[in-house]
Amino acid sequence: MKLALFDLDNTLLAGDSDFEWAQFLIEQRVLDREVYEARNVEFYEQYKAGTLDIHEFLDFQLKPLSRHPRSQLDAWHSEFMEKRILPLIAPGARELINRHRLGDDLCVIITATNRFVTAPIARALGISNLIATEPEHKNGEFTGQVSGLPSFREGKIARLESWLDERNLTWLSFLESWFYSDSLNDLPLLKKVTHPVAVDPDATLKGYAQENAWPIISLR
């Protein structure tokens, strides 16, 4: 058995679904532009620089989910998928996924972005296995809090190993493993797999990949 792990934002997508979701809500006038837009850009820059405080960001990202009924959020997300996400699917993403699927590899999207935003995207890409940051919910509605460990940096390794354990699997269950990512934030998990692949990487990851002779590819 082989394992194929895919980051989502700026890897399978030619953009960031976290950032785009907040911008979409601003355009829908759900969020106040003056209050939220600069903060959204600030968090995105921190992420790219590797300085993001994930809990501070999740407070910003998840609070709006608690202010609206799930039915309304789902309606907005459907429009968000059509207008913002489907055009962002990287041209080479489906081919890469299909190559691993044809090899009967276990395919998993693993992302720091929350499950509400990413689950429909994973379905659109044809991947049923998703490890994402989990927004807390009660009685079907979001509370604005995070549930459990965010799937971010070293947290991706912990969440993945927990996910594997639930399926009676470990790293040793796989002859080979791949992880495709664009971000320096994913270096911990990239170092764990047998085949780390930098995809349209940021400058830090590109330099690290070159120094360590990792493949560098583009899906765009």
Q: Rounded to an integer, what distance in angstroms lies between the CA atom of residue 195 and that of residue 4?
A: 9
The continuous run of DSSP H or E covering 178 comes out as: strand 176-181
Told to judge if 202 belongs to the known catalytic residues of this protein, a careful annotator would answer no
The distance from CA 72 to its chain's CA centroid, rounded to whole angstroms, is 23
**Marked catalytic residue, from 7, 18, 105, 182:** 7
Here the tokens at position 68 are: 């609206």
Q: Rounded to an integer, what distance in angstroms lies between the CA atom of residue 84 and that of residue 23?
A: 10
**Marked catalytic residue, from 9, 105, 200, 202:** 9
The continuous run of DSSP H or E covering 49 comes out as: helix 33-49
The continuous run of DSSP H or E covering 21 comes out as: helix 17-27
Told to judge if 9 belongs to the known catalytic residues of this protein, a careful annotator would answer yes
Catalytic amino acids? 7, 9
